[in-house]
Structure 1
Amino acid sequence: MSTEKINLDIHKILTLLPHRYPILLVDRVLELEPHKRIKALKNVSINEPYFMGHFPSRPVMPGVLILEALAQAAALLTFSEEPHDPGNTLYLFVGIDNARFKRVVEPGDQLILNATFERHMRGIWKFRACAEVDNVVAASADLICTVRNTDADAR
């Protein structure tokens, strides 16, 4: 395993994840150590569609979308080593443990997404994840995910 730190731009992210607007929640990978950890970035813009209703007078990024952004970062960590076809692969939550929300995330914030690989067993991946704004924890959770092929034969 390499200890080389890799960064990925949006073009590479789009080749690894099946997500697209408006649910793609990772803009750039700042650091990636395969099979170890990832540090990614989500620029939170007032143009995000969810701000129209959450909340019109005081826009706040929904906590569930912060968790989704962390899961997408974890997926990039997984897919950095695992061969897959993004058009034929789903990366799904199996569980979320110990989720905590410590700070609101608002338009103009840069959300730093950190995920550390904990273990992989029988198709289940576990990560410890933390989202920060200005070096202050906004949310943290233990994420449990799986990868599924979307072919009819795999259902």
Structure 2
Amino acid sequence: MDILEIMQILPHRYPLLLVDRILEIELGKRIVGLKNVSINEPYFQGHFPGFPLMPGVYILEALAQVGGILMIKSLNLEIGKYAVVFAGIDDARFKKPVYPGDQLILELEAIALKKSLSKMKGTAKVDNQVVAEAILYASARELSQLKK
């Protein structure tokens, strides 16, 4: 799945769209996405000057976005009508830093996929080494419900 299809599924846009490509998807089971980490990411201006590291919250958000694609595709939700929002996170661990120039591989395995509340195990890797992992919870909401 290329960036154009990703942008049809996810409502995120610059600077918060954190998925460049979907490499694999098994509906209802698992998904693998890719994020090319560039020095041009806006967070590198302040995290940290002279020693750029990708913030952990952005790694988790990238995992969540890939998980959102798995939810929308697996649950056959109408594209453009739903957004997937974070509902919780457990057991987040950051094992190695992520630097500009890295390719972040984002793997999610479905534990339970439901529109009201899904649970997925996420693992982020660089050069086949785990850099972060977490259990993510998410809910699919109609975009119209998210507006005030």
Q: Check whether TM > 0.5.
A: yes
Match of 2:139 in 1: 146
SS of match in other structure, 1:151: helix
Q: How many residues align?
A: 147
AA of the residue aligned to 2:120: F
Match of 1:106 in 2: 99
Q: Structure 1: state its 5+ residue gaps.
A: 1-7
1:131–1:154 CA distance, 2 compared to 1 (3 A): same
User: Conserved in 1, the CA contact under 8 Å of 2:33 and 2:106?
Assistant: yes
2: distance between equivalents of 1:121 and 1:12?
A: 22
Match of 1:61 in 2: 54
Instruction: Say whether residues 1:9 and 2:8 are aligned partners.
Output: no
Deviation of 1:89 (Å): 2.5
SS of match in other structure, 2:113: strand
Q: State the 4+ residue runs in structure 1 displaced beyond 4 angstroms.
A: 152-155
Q: Structure 2: state its 5+ residue gaps.
A: none
Match of 2:45 in 1: 52
Instruction: Say whether residues 1:24 and 2:21 are aligned partners.
Output: no
Deviation of 1:79 (Å): 1.2
> Cα RMSD (Å) of the superposition?
1.7
Equivalent of 1:35 in 28, 40, 48: 28
1: distance between equivalents of 2:65 and 2:135?
A: 14
User: Conserved in 1, the CA contact under 8 Å of 2:104 and 2:126?
Assistant: yes
Deviation of 1:154 (Å): 8.9
User: Conserved in 1, the CA contact under 8 Å of 2:63 and 2:124?
Assistant: yes
1:91–1:121 CA distance, 2 compared to 1 (3 A): closer
Equivalent of 1:90 in 67, 73, 83: 83
| Identical counterparts, % of pairs | 50
User: Conserved in 2, the CA contact under 8 Å of 1:70 and 1:129?
Assistant: yes
Instruction: Say whether residues 1:80 and 2:73 are aligned partners.
Output: yes
Deviation of 1:140 (Å): 0.0
User: Conserved in 1, the CA contact under 8 Å of 2:72 and 2:79?
Assistant: no
1:135–1:153 CA distance, 2 compared to 1 (3 A): closer
Deviation of 1:84 (Å): 2.1
User: Conserved in 1, the CA contact under 8 Å of 2:6 and 2:21?
Assistant: yes
Deviation of 1:153 (Å): 9.6
CA offset digits 1:25-72 (Å, max 9, x no partner):
000000011111001100000000000000011000000000000000
2: distance between equivalents of 1:19 and 1:140?
A: 22
User: Conserved in 2, the CA contact under 8 Å of 1:44 and 1:107?
Assistant: yes
